[in-house]
Structure 1
Amino acid sequence: MAFFTMKHVKKTFIQGDVEEEILKGVHLSLKKGELTALVGASGSGKSTLLTIAAGLQPASGGEILMDGKSLHRMDQEEIRKIRAEKFGFVFQAAHLVPFLTVEEQLKLMLDVSESTLTKEAQRKEIARVLQLVEMEHRRNAYPASLSGGEKQRVAIARAIIHKPAILFADEPTASLDSTKSKAVLTLIRELTDTLNIATLMVTHDEAMLPFADRIIRMSDGRILQEEKTEHKETS
C-alpha cells in the first residue's frame, strides 16, 4: 500500500522573461519494501522529481502526501524534521565529512535526526549498521583512506542509521566501476527488503534496472512508462 504519493506535481523555473516547465503534472507513489528506479535522458526531469519528493526544493504546483499528510501545508521546520527523521539520502558522491571517522559519520547523522538513544545504544546501533554494509572493520578509518565503493557503503550506512521510511538515491553508482556498482546496488536492494523501506533511485545505467521492483521512464517532464520487473538481481 502506498504511503507516499505525489499528485499533479509541477515544477517551473523562471529566469528573467524565460519560463521553463521541468515537471508537467507528474503522479508517483512509493511503497515500503519496493525499489523504484527513475530513468530517462538528461533533462527529462528525473532528478528534479527526486529532489522535490525529498523536500529539497518546493514544487510549483500539485500535492505531496506522506501518511495522508500534505507536505505542501507544512512549514519549513516541519519539512526539515521529516527530512531528518523519515528520509535517507545517497548521492553520486558520498559527501563524507573528511575529518570524521566512519563511526563518527554515523554518530553525526543520529545527532541530526535527534535520536533519543543512549550513548551505549547508539554505539551498538552503529556497530549493527556497519555490519549490515560490511564496513565494521573500517569504523575508525577516515574518508581519505577509503575506496570509492567503501565511501558509498558508508554513505548508505549513514543514510539508514536513523531508520528512515524512504531512501532517496540519486545516481548512487555513477562514479563507480561496474563491479563496485553491482555491489552497491545489491546492498541497496537487500536493505530495501530487510528494513522494509521505500527506495526511489535515479539512474542512467540500464544494467542496474534488474535490481528494481518497478521502473519509471521519464521524458520531457512527464512519465512515459511504468513497468514492473519480473525478478530481483541480488547475486
Structure 2
Amino acid sequence: MSIFTLKNVRKTFYNGEIKEEILKGIDLTLKEGEITALVGPSGSGKSTLLTIAAGLQPATDGKVMLGMKNMISMNSEQIRKIRANKFGFVFQFAHLVPFLTVEEQLLLMLDVSESKLKKHEQKIEINKMLKMVEMDHRRNAYPSSLSGGEKQRVAIARGIIHKPKILFADEPTASLDSKRSKDVMSLIRHLARTLNIATLLVTHDEEMLTYADRIVKMSDGKIIGAV
C-alpha cells in the first residue's frame, strides 16, 4: 500500500543571479513494508531529495504527500510534529547521546515523539525493541562501551521505537565493515517488513542493494530508472 508520494518535486537554488535546479520534477512513491534504495553519483540530488522528503528542507515546487496531507503547505510546527511522530531516522553515524544508556536513548525518543504510552507501557515497548535488535543484554551500557555495529543497532531501535510510518536511512552502513553492514541491513529489512515501515535508503554500497525491494536511480536531479 502506498503511503508516501512525491509529485513533480523541484528544488532550485540561486547562486547570485545564476539559477541552479537541483531537483527537476521528481515523482516517487514509498510503500508500507518496502525498502526503496536511492542510488546515483555524487551531486545527483539524492541527499537533497531525502532531506525534502523528510521535512528537513522545503521543496521549491511540487507535492510531498503523507497520506492525503501535503507537507509543502504545512507550517514549521506541523512539519516538526510529523518528523517527531511519523518519521524515523538512521544516519551514517549513530549520534547517540554519550551520557545516556542504551535504554535511556530509546526512552528519550519516546519523549520526543510525545508518546501517549504510560511509563510501564513504554518499558514494555523498549524491552520488545531491544530484543528485536538483539541489544537487551546491553540495555545499561553507555555508547563509549559499544562497538560500531552495536551503536548502529541502538540507532535503528531509537529510529523506530515510536513506530514511524517512514524510516529515512542515509548511508546507514558507510562507517561499518562488510559483515556489520550486512547485519545492519538485514535488521533494517526485517524491521521494515515486521513493523510495516516504508523505508527510503540512500547508499553508495552496491552490496547493500540486495536488501532493497526497489532501486531508484538518479542522475543530474532526475530519476532515470527504477527496478
In structure 1, the residue matched to 2:202 is: 202
In structure 2, the residue matched to 1:230 is: none
In structure 2, the residue matched to 1:190 is: 190
| C-alpha separation in 2, matches of 1:196 and 1:9 | 25
Runs of 4+ off more than 6 Å: none
| C-alpha separation in 2, matches of 1:16 and 1:98 | 41
- Shift of residue 11, structure 1, vs aligned partner: 0.9
- Shift of residue 2, structure 1, vs aligned partner: 1.2
Normalised by the length of structure 2, the TM-score is 0.98
In structure 2, the residue matched to 1:100 is: 100
One-letter amino acid of the counterpart of residue 60, structure 1: T
Q: For residues 6-45 of structure 1, give each alpha carbon's deviation from its aligned partner in whole angstroms, at most 9, with x where no partner exists.
A: 0110111223233321111100000101110000111111
One-letter amino acid of the counterpart of residue 152, structure 1: Q
1:80 aligns with 2:109: no
- Matched ranges for 1:1-235 at <5 A: 1-227=1-227
Normalised by the length of structure 1, the TM-score is 0.95
| C-alpha separation in 1, matches of 2:133 and 2:157 | 7
**Structure 2: unaligned runs, 5 residues or longer:** none
One-letter amino acid of the counterpart of residue 80, structure 1: R
CA RMSD of superposed structures (Å): 0.8
| C-alpha separation in 2, matches of 1:3 and 1:188 | 18
Range moving further from structure 2, 65-74 or 8-17: 8-17
| C-alpha separation in 2, matches of 1:14 and 1:184 | 39
